[in-house]
Amino acid sequence: LKQERDSTQVFDRVTGGHGDDVNRYVEPMRTIDWVDGAVEIIDQTALPDETRILRLSTVDELVEAVRRLAVRGAPAIGVAGAFGVALAARQFAGDPDGLASAVERVRTARPTAVNLARCAGRVADRLPDGPDAALKEALRIRDEEIDSAEQMAQLGADLLVSLCGERPRLLTHCNTGALATVTGGTALAVAFELHRRGALAGMVASETRPLLQGARLTAWELGRAGIPYRLIVDGAGPFLMSRGEVDAVIVGADRICANGDVVNKVGTYAHALGARAAGIPFVVVAPESTVDLDTPSGDAVEIEDRGAAEVVAFRGVAFAPEGAGTANPAFDVTPYPLVTAIVTDRRVIRLDTGEVLGSGRRQ
Ligand code: MRU
**Residue 131 vs residues 41, 76, 122, 338: alpha-carbon distances, Å:** 21, 21, 13, 44
Between the CA of 8 and the centroid of ligand 1 the distance, in Å, is 26
The residues with which 170 forms a beta bridge, in sequence order, are 203, 248
Nearest to 111 by CA among 285, 286, 292, 259: 292
Which residue type sits at 114?
Answer: V
Q: Please give the pLDDT value at position 19.
A: 37
- The DSSP annotation for 168-217 comes to -EEEEES--BGGGSSSSBSHHHHHHHHHHTT---EEEEE--TTTTIIIII
From the list 33, 43, 234, 254, the catalytic residue is 254
- Which ligand 1 atom minimizes the distance to the CA of 113? 12
**Sign of the torsion formed by the C-alpha atoms of 356, 344, 68 and 235:** negative
Whether 110 has a binding-site annotation, put simply, is yes
pLDDT digits 0-9 by tens, 125-143: 999 999 999 999 999 999 9
Verify whether residue 254 is a known catalytic residue: yes
- Which ligand 1 atom minimizes the distance to the CA of 265? 8
Between the CA of 358 and the centroid of ligand 1 the distance, in Å, is 23
**Sign of the torsion formed by the C-alpha atoms of 166, 28, 229 and 343:** positive
Q: Please give the pLDDT value at position 362.
A: 53
Residue 310 pLDDT > 90: yes
**Sign of the torsion formed by the C-alpha atoms of 163, 166, 172 and 178:** positive
- Which ligand 1 atom minimizes the distance to the CA of 186? 15
The residue-averaged pLDDT of 183-198 equals 97
Distance CA(105)–CA(284), nearest Å, equals 30
Closest residue by Cα to atom 8, ligand 1, is 265
Distance CA(172)–CA(207), nearest Å, equals 9
Residue 221, Ramachandran bin (φ over 0: left; ψ between -120 and 50: alpha; else beta):
alpha
pLDDT digits 0-9 by tens, 272-308: 999 999 999 999 999 999 999 999 999 999 999 999 9
pTM of the model: 0.92
Q: Quick one: pLDDT band at residue 359, thresholds 50, 70, 90?
A: low
Residue 342 pLDDT > 50: yes
Distance CA(2)–CA(309), nearest Å, equals 27
Whether 73 has a binding-site annotation, put simply, is yes
Distance CA(130)–CA(2), nearest Å, equals 26
- The DSSP annotation for 108-132 comes to TSSSS-HHHHHHHHHHHTTGGG-HH
pLDDT digits 0-9 by tens, 52-96: 999 999 999 999 999 999 999 999 999 999 999 999 999 999 999
Q: Which of 14-23, 71-80, 113-122, 277-286 has the lowest mean pLDDT?
A: 14-23
Distance CA(155)–CA(230), nearest Å, equals 25
Distance CA(344)–CA(285), nearest Å, equals 6
pLDDT digits 0-9 by tens, 172-189: 999 999 999 999 999 999
Residue 20 pLDDT > 90: no
> Does the bond joining 210 to the residue before it have cis omega, within 30 degrees of 0?
yes
Residue 14 pLDDT > 60: no
Q: Please give the pLDDT value at position 29.
A: 75
The residue-averaged pLDDT of 138-160 equals 98
Residue 11 pLDDT > 60: no
The residue-averaged pLDDT of 108-121 equals 98
Contact 266, 331 (CB under 8 A): yes
Residue 8 pLDDT > 90: no
- Pocket test of ligand 1: the residue of 41, 264, 292 to mutate, having most ligand atoms within 8 Å of its CB, is 264
pLDDT digits 0-9 by tens, 260-276: 999 999 999 999 999 99
Whether 328 has a binding-site annotation, put simply, is no
The residue-averaged pLDDT of 201-212 equals 98
Percent of the chain with pLDDT over 70: 91
**Residue 243 vs residues 22, 202, 237, 249, 279: alpha-carbon distances, Å:** 49, 16, 10, 14, 11
Between the CA of 94 and the centroid of ligand 1 the distance, in Å, is 36
Q: Please give the pLDDT value at position 221.
A: 96
Residue 360 pLDDT > 60: no
Between the CA of 22 and the centroid of ligand 1 the distance, in Å, is 29
Distance CA(143)–CA(230), nearest Å, equals 33
Q: Please give the pLDDT value at position 358.
A: 87
Whether 175 has a binding-site annotation, put simply, is no
